[in-house]
């Protein structure tokens, strides 16, 4: 690291930020860290960024826009809900593996943004999730999917993507295509199988019996 000068400083800062925000979090990352990684003095960063938070925001908004663009492109030409859902899931998971760090940052650092910027990101995120959910609902409407909770199903897709972004590594035992395909399989199996095997257990009473913390006031990440 610490290669001297060059016009690529801005990009190096961005990469260093992605790495460190992913690894240590936004709050725990100092501009000193980034400057050191890039091989520049702290003050010099400001020739390329306007503030630490703006740097975070630009990473988050870019990755979300790319994710949306990827989904739009992937869905082109597909019409059957089952096919569209598989495509969407594969695209979602693949993207979350491929751009893991940025996507992870996007999911975990919303609370580090000031309200205005946070609202922008939330809007992008909600638009994306809404699109996925619409596919699920269309499959339900057409009778192709049996699973009765489209909101929870959509959440499952989102949750799995987020989780993938936290552990996927290109040099791991499964390729990006394998992970994406396997999770598409899992979720489509769940959507298509009409029978619930095994009756509910009775663990809920036990869990609720414990004394619990008071009710959450708000989600931490919007």
**Which residues bind to DNA, rule: CB under 7 A?**
5-7, 9-10, 29-32, 40-48, 51-53
Please identify, using beta-carbon distances, which residue of 7 and 148 lies nearer to DNA. Answer: 7
- At its nearest, how many Å lie between DNA and the CB of residue 20? 10
- At its nearest, how many Å lie between its own copies and the CB of residue 164? 8
- At its nearest, how many Å lie between its own copies and the CB of residue 73? 6
From the list DNA, its own copies, none, partner contacted by residue 9 (C-beta under 5 to 8 A by kind): DNA
Q: Give the residue from 41, 44, 37 showing the smallest Cα distance to 19.
A: 37
Please identify, using beta-carbon distances, which residue of 46 and 167 lies nearer to DNA. Answer: 46
From the list DNA, its own copies, none, partner contacted by residue 58 (C-beta under 5 to 8 A by kind): none
From the list DNA, its own copies, none, partner contacted by residue 7 (C-beta under 5 to 8 A by kind): DNA
Residue with tokens 């990440």: 221
Question: Cα angle at 190 between 158 and 178, to 5 degrees?
Answer: 65
- At its nearest, how many Å lie between DNA and the CB of residue 25? 11
Q: Would you give the end-to-end CA distance of the chain in angstroms?
A: 36
From the list DNA, its own copies, none, partner contacted by residue 83 (C-beta under 5 to 8 A by kind): its own copies
Residue 70 CB neighbours (<10 A): 16
From the list DNA, its own copies, none, partner contacted by residue 10 (C-beta under 5 to 8 A by kind): DNA
- At its nearest, how many Å lie between its own copies and the CB of residue 214? 7
Please identify, using beta-carbon distances, which residue of 10 and 188 lies nearer to DNA. Answer: 10
Cite the DSSP H helix spans in 25-144. 31-38, 52-75, 81-98, 100-108, 115-141
Please identify, using beta-carbon distances, which residue of 116 and 195 lies nearer to DNA. Answer: 116
Please identify, using beta-carbon distances, which residue of 53 and 138 lies nearer to DNA. Answer: 53
Report the C-alpha gap between 59 and 15 in whole angstroms: 10
Q: Concatenate the DSSP letters of all residues of 149-212 into one string.
A: -HHHHHHHHHHHHHHHHHH--TTSSS-HHHHHHHHHHHHHHHHH--PPPS---S-HHHHHHS--
Q: Give the residue from 61, 63, 32 showing the smallest Cα distance to 45.
A: 32
């Amino acid at each position: 690291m610490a290669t001297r000068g060059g016009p690529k400083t801005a990009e190096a800062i961005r990469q260093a930020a992605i790495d460190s925000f992913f690894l240590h979090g936004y709050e725990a990352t100092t501009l000193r860290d980034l400057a050191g990684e890039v091989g520049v003095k702290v003050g010099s960063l400001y020739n390329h960024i306007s503030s630490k938070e703006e740097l975070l925001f630009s990473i988050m908004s870019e990755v979300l826009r790319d994710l949306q663009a990827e989904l739009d492109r992937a869905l082109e030409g597909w019409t059957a809900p089952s096919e569209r859902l598989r495509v969407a899931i594969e695209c979602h998971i693949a993207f979350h593996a491929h751009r893991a760090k940025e996507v992870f940052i996007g999911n975990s650092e919303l609370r580090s943004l000031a309200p205005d910027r946070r609202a922008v990101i939330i809007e992008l995120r909600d638009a994306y999730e809404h699109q996925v959910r619409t596919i699920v609902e269309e499959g339900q409407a057409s009778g192709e999917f049996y699973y009765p909770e489209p909101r929870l199903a959509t959440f499952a897709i989102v949750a799995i993507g987020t989780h993938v972004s936290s552990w996927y590594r290109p040099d791991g035992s499964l390729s990006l295509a394998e992970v994406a395909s396997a999770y598409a399989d899992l979720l489509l199996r769940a959507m298509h199988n009409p029978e619930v095997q095994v009756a509910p257990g009775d663990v809920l009473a036990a869990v609720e019996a414990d004394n619990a913390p008071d009710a959450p006031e708000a989600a931490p990440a919007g």
